[in-house]
Amino acid sequence: MGKRDFIIVADSACDLPHEYAEKNNLKVLSLKFYLDEKEYLNTLDFASMPAEEFYGRLRNGEHAKTAQVNSQEFYEAFKEILESGRDVLAILISAALSGTFNSANIAKQQLQEEYPDRNIILVDSISGSLGAGLVVEEAVEWKAKGKDIFQIEKHLNQFKHHVVHIFTHDDLSHLKAGGRMGTLLYWVGTALRIKPIISADDEGKLKLRHKVIGRKKSLRILLDRIDEFFDPSISDKMVIGHCDCLDETNQFVEELETRIKRKVTLVHMIGPVIGAHGGPGTIAAFFTAKAR
């Protein structure tokens, strides 16, 4: 029954533009973030809190906490789709970065007992932010070509290993607050103006690739790595995300386009859940390569 119609489900950590999700009939479930003990939804349209306000509060010394989509929310969303006569293809943030995938799996197990003849397919994107977004976009494009849910699942589980995300932070305090960096490394890094270059490995875990002194040098190395690894034969998309540093990002994009001799596909704000760990000034590139 692979030819039954299906809905593509994503979570809001994919950071895709709201307009894209609306246009392509995506069902997007929201992760949550907390500032001063108050809960906000991380929606793609930034309805709970404008991005500029969120990053402004981080710049003023606040630290945000985040929470996954829970299993009940997935259960209700999946059940509504199944009740409408369609199947579910859910493409979610790396299970190594969030418990969201596990929540979806709990909901899937419950619903498969209730709907034993239906398809609920989960794809761990092994990505976050617009890296997960690229995997979602690939699913949308394959669906538009008329591929069935199983063909798309097989393709995505290969494609995702070619999706690179590489980024640099400007402020290490949010990595430290989120438990991604020890106190000693934070103080040494801050004193020496160290700017880490981080990317995701083949399991979807974040790995420190370079420790660079100074912002300008970190952006130059980021450009070098993109230029070295980008393989447009897999996908010609080059997506740049940023945490409320548009002017600096535009300069970065201008230099990047000169180097790779093609236009960047999308420049977009990274949402609060991912941004809570990166902090203001993060610049990230998402593209395909032969390997991560």
Print the SS3 string covering the chain. Answer: CCCCCEEEEEEHHHCCCHHHHHHCCCEEECEEEEECCEEEEECCCCCCCCHHHHHHHHHCCCCCEEECCCHHHHHHHHHHHHHCCCEEEEEECCCCCCCHHHHHHHHHHHHHHHCCCCCEEEEECCCCHHHHHHHHHHHHHHHHCCCCHHHHHHHHHHHHHHEEEEEECCCCHHHHHCCCCCHHHHHHHHHCCEEEEEEECCCCCEEEEEEEECHHHHHHHHHHHHHHHCCCCCCCCCEEEECCCHHHHHHHHHHHHHHHCCCCCEEEECCHHHHHHHCCCCEEEEEECCCC
The C-alpha angle with vertex 246 and arms to 186 and 41, in degrees rounded to 5, equals 75
Residue scoring higher pLDDT (208 or 215):
215
Determine the average pLDDT of the residues in 155-164: 98
- Residue carrying the six token digits 């307009």: 19
The pLDDT of residue 208 is: 81
The pLDDT of residue 64 is: 94
The pLDDT of residue 186 is: 41
Determine the average pLDDT of the residues in 121-150: 98
The pLDDT of residue 210 is: 81
- Does the pLDDT at position 68 exceed 60? yes
The pLDDT of residue 262 is: 97
Residues 6+ away with beta carbon under 8 Å from 7: 25, 26, 27, 81, 86, 87, 88, 89
The pLDDT of residue 171 is: 64
Residue scoring higher pLDDT (86 or 278):
86
Structure tokens at 279: 């902090």
The pLDDT of residue 86 is: 97
Determine the average pLDDT of the residues in 229-249: 97
The pLDDT of residue 106 is: 98
Of the chain, the percentage scoring pLDDT greater than 90 comes to 82
The pLDDT of residue 172 is: 54
- Does the pLDDT at position 43 exceed 60? yes
The pLDDT of residue 173 is: 55
Determine the average pLDDT of the residues in 141-162: 98
- Residue carrying the six token digits 């790779």: 260
The pLDDT of residue 185 is: 47
CA 288 to chain centre: 14
Q: What is the mean pLDDT of the chain?
A: 91
- Does the pLDDT at position 175 exceed 80? no
Of the chain, the percentage scoring pLDDT greater than 70 comes to 91
The pLDDT of residue 214 is: 85
Of 78-82, 181-185, 262-266, which gets the smallest average pLDDT? 181-185
Considering just the CA atoms, what is the radius of gyration of the chain in Å? Answer: 19
Sheet with 38-42: list strands edge to edge.
38-42, 31-35, 65-67
Structure tokens at 130: 């617009």
DSSP β-bridge partners for residue 228: none
